[in-house]
């Protein structure tokens, strides 16, 4: 079955572009609970109007509620989800396990999609999400083609990102922005530290000049979508809720062309590139690494390379072009000198609006530009005009069938219009009279019924059974057509009453009662009754292990970590999945932890079986990419051991350092250099009903580890 093309729409212009280009579904967020807090999100009133508009055209609408939700926000989130359900939204895309759990138990007919922020990459994770009523999973961008295929084979609907920006950190596992800038990515407010420049240090010595070591290229799998189709992927998702209408149009249109077995020309590819790109990669799906995955030279839009500065004359820049340039195009000169081409001159100094490829021209540009600087076209006036014209000229309609009959003089026209799902019947107000001059014929009826230019529908077929001697006025036929289409529209948009049931779930009481101590190497383990884990040792449950004592994903384990638990409903969800203990998110403040514990006990009658991390260097990122090997080698070699032989740090413009540590599978973790020591909060946490705690040790000595454990045990007693 042909997969749907799912388009991002952050504003009205992008919506019209997606519709005109031929999308099958759109997704967007609201002002709250969406992972793009700074996008031009739609209001509830606008959302209801968009749902109606799209449904008339058989386009599905998915709303993102893909942030973590704090305890005191859950009621608001539930009310919003219920309101969207009443609007007949096709699905909600959700990250928070608590919201998934609550909606599954209270609104059983609401379609739930698991967000990519849940970092799902394995079939066993999908089986867990089935318990929460999830009907589709948006896979993590780290999935290989083999992993995508395995997930499809679970029977779950699978959605895959095929174009747009990617995070270098595992989806949902980035806390860099939250820790350093107090802007949580899991709350939709990411400051994008991955797009900032850093220097690389080895054993406190500078070994890597300032570059964008954490900035990946943009994903583009448009030419590979047929392979995903054959695999059984049901939805091809395009990233870009903050991108332009031209970007949305070109990415949707070109994806549709490839699915329709049409070849993408060089011009097509350039038209898409000029709307936005950071360079393209086939990403983890095709096991790209090093410079095939990353673009450390730049973090911003690269457009297309159109030439270079070859001189300066009369206060103008002289350019040698290998690509056409037009008046009002946007360009970047060198690294960061941008301007619009307001004045364009040919080589004779004559003003013009167009210079062809291979020519020399002059422009008024920034004085700081240097001879030899590269010229990138970052906005194309021709592409924008082309897209605007096509949007204006495209009148997307659905195809209906019509059947028109009349029994004879004195009888009305009976019109039935229908598609595969809906059928309506309308009877004309007038009745047939005896034809005096020209009788009503099929040509006349078809001509009037095909006057649907301003309607949501047109007719693929019109079948008629009418006598040859009857007459109806043209106005009667037009009125019949309008009434039939209006009745069809009303029936198509008729909302079904939603089903809402009481929440009666009672989680099992957990008997697991252990502290967790995490060390980087097994030799740091102490002789205590607590649970000691070494995530860097692949046999102990790292980011991709399917089994382990403690796992940071929905694997086979008793204690689960890394699931961004910020409310009591999420704890209940994980207990429903069979887990025994839950590590709360580090994004919880004391007030929210108290709210979680109080709400859980009030609702279920016992203390929530949770752990709180009270000693650690906060983990900022976990990634399937090695900054160290890429910077010092080529980024393609596995197990080079550099990160185990030396101490590596990234240092930003703020002079703050980030600790880099790799595991045996070459997953790199970034840690904050500042120690978070919250052991003194144990007394307060105990009064909330919390009995167990977690500590993470990076480079502490055995003596320092023992000292920390002694402090924890003395306060816990």
333: domain CATH number is 2.40.30.10
Region of residue 217 (phi > 0: left; psi between -120 and 50: alpha; otherwise: beta): beta
**pLDDT attached to residue 38:** 67
> Does residue 172 form part of some domain?
no
Structural domain ending residue among the three candidates 476, 492, 508: 492
Longest pairwise C-alpha distance within the chain: 110
Integer-rounded Cα radius of gyration of the chain: 30
d(CA 147, CA 128): 17
> Does residue 665 form part of some domain?
yes
> What total of structural domains would you count in the chain?
4
Query: What six digits make up the tokens of 138?
Result: 């948006």
Residues 612 and 692 in one domain: yes
Mean predicted confidence (pLDDT) in 447-469: 96
Task: From 161, 201, 193, select the one nearest 174 (Cα to Cα).
Answer: 193
Residues 535 and 622 in one domain: yes
Span between the terminal Cα atoms of the chain, in Å? 61
Mean predicted confidence (pLDDT) in 97-107: 98
> Does residue 573 form part of some domain?
yes
Q: What is the pLDDT of residues 527-536, one digit of tens each?
A: 888 889 887 7
pLDDT over threshold 70, residue 537? no
Residues 340 and 428 in one domain: no
**pLDDT attached to residue 419:** 97
Residues 710 and 582 in one domain: yes
Residue 477, H or E segment: helix 474-492
d(CA 330, CA 19): 26
Residues 563 and 708 in one domain: yes
- pLDDT band for 464, please (50, 70, 90 cuts): very high
Whole-prediction pTM: 0.95
Compute φ and ψ for 93, nearest 5 degrees. Answer: -100, 115
For the chain, what percent of residues have pLDDT higher than 90?
87
> Does residue 295 form part of some domain?
no
Compute φ and ψ for 539, nearest 5 degrees. Answer: -80, -5
Name the residue range of residue 483's domain.
398-492
Q: Which residues of 284-312 are buried (b: 16+ CB within 10 A; e: fewer)?
A: bbeebbbbbbbbbebbbbbbbebbbbeee
> Does residue 563 form part of some domain?
yes
- SS3 breakdown of the chain: % helix, strand, coil, rounded to 5? 30, 25, 40
Q: Count CB atoms within 10 A of the CB of residue 352.
A: 14
Structural domain ending residue among the three candidates 373, 393, 413: 393
Please answer whether residues 289 and 635 qualify as being in contact, where contact means their C-beta atoms are separated by less than 8 angstroms.
yes
Structural domain ending residue among the three candidates 256, 286, 316: 286
- pLDDT band for 539, please (50, 70, 90 cuts): very low
pLDDT over threshold 70, residue 402? yes
Query: What six digits make up the tokens of 338?
Result: 């941008």
Residues 334 and 240 in one domain: no
Query: Is residue 629 helix, strand or coil?
Result: helix
Residues 226 and 97 in one domain: yes
> Does residue 190 form part of some domain?
no
> In terms of C-beta density within 10 A (0-12 exposed, 13-18 middle, 19 or more buried), how is residue 482 classed?
middle
- The CATH code of the domain that includes 37 is 3.20.20.70
d(CA 486, CA 357): 52
When mean pLDDT is compared over 530-534, 538-542, 652-656, the highest value belongs to 652-656
d(CA 15, CA 9): 5
- pLDDT band for 548, please (50, 70, 90 cuts): low
Q: What is the pLDDT of residues 359-401, one digit of tens each?
A: 999 999 999 999 999 999 999 999 999 999 999 999 999 999 9
d(CA 323, CA 308): 11
Q: Which residues of 163-184 are buried (b: 16+ CB within 10 A; e: fewer)?
A: bbbbbbbbbbbbbbbbbbeebb
Region of residue 204 (phi > 0: left; psi between -120 and 50: alpha; otherwise: beta): left
**pLDDT attached to residue 637:** 74
Residues 671 and 565 in one domain: yes
Residues 425 and 444 in one domain: yes
Q: What is the pLDDT of residues 426-452, one digit of tens each?
A: 999 999 999 988 999 999 999 999 999
Residues 474 and 539 in one domain: no
Q: Which residues of 216-231 are buried (b: 16+ CB within 10 A; e: fewer)?
A: bbbbbbbeebeebbeb
> Does residue 189 form part of some domain?
no
Residues 404 and 389 in one domain: no
- pLDDT band for 4, please (50, 70, 90 cuts): very high
The strand pairing partners of 331, in sequence order, are: 339, 377
Q: What is the DSSP letter of 658?
A: E
> Does residue 500 form part of some domain?
no
Residues 585 and 618 in one domain: yes
d(CA 167, CA 628): 18
- pLDDT band for 544, please (50, 70, 90 cuts): very low
């Amino acid at each position: 079955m042909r997969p749907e093309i799912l388009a991002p729409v952050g504003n009205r212009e992008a919506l019209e572009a997606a519709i005109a280009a031929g999308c099958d579904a759109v997704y967007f967020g609201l002002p709250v609970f969406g992972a793009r807090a700074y996008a031009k999100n739609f209001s509830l009133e606008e959302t209801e109007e968009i749902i109606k508009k799209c449904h008339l055209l058989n386009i599905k609408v998915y709303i993102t509620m893909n942030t973590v939700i704090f305890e005191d926000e859950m009621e608001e989130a539930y009310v919003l989800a219920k309101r969207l359900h009443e609007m007949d939204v096709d699905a909600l895309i959700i990250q928070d396990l608590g919201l998934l759990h609550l909606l599954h138990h209270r609104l059983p007919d609401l379609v739930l999609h698991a967000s990519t922020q849940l970092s799902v990459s394995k079939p066993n994770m999908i089986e867990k999400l089935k318990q929460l009523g999830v009907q589709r999973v948006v896979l993590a961008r780290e999935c290989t083609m083999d992993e995508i295929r395995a997930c499809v084979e679970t029977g779950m609907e699978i959605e895959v990102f095929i174009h747009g920006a990617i995070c270098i950190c595992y989806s949902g596992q980035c806390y860099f922005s939250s820790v350093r800038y107090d802007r949580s990515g899991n709350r939709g407010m990411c400051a994008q530290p991955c797009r900032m420049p850093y220097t690389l240090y080895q054993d406190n010595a500078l070994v890597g000049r300032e570059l964008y070591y954490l900035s990946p290229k943009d994903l583009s799998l448009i030419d590979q979508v047929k392979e995903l189709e054959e695999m059984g992927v049901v939805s091809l998702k395009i990233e870009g809720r903050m991108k332009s209408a031209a970007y949305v149009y070109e990415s949707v249109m070109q994806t549709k062309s490839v699915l329709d077995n049409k070849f993408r020309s060089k011009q097509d590819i350039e038209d898409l590139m000029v709307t936005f790109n950071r360079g393209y990669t086939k990403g983890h799906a095709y096991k790209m690494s090093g410079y095939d995955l990353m673009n450390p030279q730049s973090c911003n839009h690269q457009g297309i390379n159109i030439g270079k500065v070859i001189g300066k004359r009369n206060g103008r820049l002289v350019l040698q072009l290998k690509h056409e340039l037009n008046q009002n195009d946007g360009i970047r000169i060198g690294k960061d000198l941008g301007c619009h081409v307001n004045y364009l001159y040919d080589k004779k100094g004559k003003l013009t609006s167009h210079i062809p490829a291979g020519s020399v021209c002059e422009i008024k540009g920034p004085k700081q530009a240097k001879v030899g600087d590269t010229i990138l076209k970052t906005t194309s006036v021709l592409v924008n005009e082309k897209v605007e014209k096509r949007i204006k000229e495209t009148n997307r309609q659905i195809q209906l069938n019509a059947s028109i009959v009349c029994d004879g003089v004195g009888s009305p026209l009976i019109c039935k219009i229908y598609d595969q799902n809906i059928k309506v019947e309308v009877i004309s107000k007038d009745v047939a009279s005896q034809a005096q001059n020209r009788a009503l014929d099929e040509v006349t009826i078809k001509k009037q019924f095909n006057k649907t230019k301003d309607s949501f529908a047109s007719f693929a077929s019109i079948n008629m059974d009418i006598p040859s001697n009857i007459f109806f006025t043209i106005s009667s036929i037009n009125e019949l057509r309008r009434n039939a289409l209006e009745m069809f529209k009303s029936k198509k948009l008729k909302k079904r009453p939603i089903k809402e049931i009481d929440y009666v779930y009672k989680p099992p009481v957990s008997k697991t009662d252990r502290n967790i101590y995490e060390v980087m190497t097994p030799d740091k383990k102490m002789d205590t009754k607590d649970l000691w884990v070494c995530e860097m040792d692949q046999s102990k449950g790292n980011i991709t292990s399917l089994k382990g004592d403690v796992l940071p994903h929905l694997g086979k384990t008793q204690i689960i970590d890394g699931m961004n638990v910020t409310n009591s409903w999420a704890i209940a969800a994980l207990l429903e999945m069979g887990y025994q203990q839950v590590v709360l998110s580090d994004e919880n403040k004391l007030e929210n932890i108290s709210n979680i514990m109080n709400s859980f006990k009030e609702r279920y009658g016992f203390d929530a079986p949770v752990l709180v991390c009270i000693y650690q260097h906060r983990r900022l990122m976990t990634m399937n990419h090695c900054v160290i090997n890429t910077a010092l080698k080529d980024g393609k070699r596995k197990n080079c051991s550099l990160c185990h032989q030396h101490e590596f740090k990234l240092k930003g413009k703020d002079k703050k350092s980030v600790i880099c540590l790799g595991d045996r599978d070459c997953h790199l973790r970034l840690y904050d250099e500042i120690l978070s020591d919250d052991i003194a909060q144990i007394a307060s946490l105990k009064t909330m009903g919390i009995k167990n705690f977690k500590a993470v040790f990076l480079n502490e000595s055995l003596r320092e580890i023992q000292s920390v454990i002694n402090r924890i045990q003395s306060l816990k007693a």
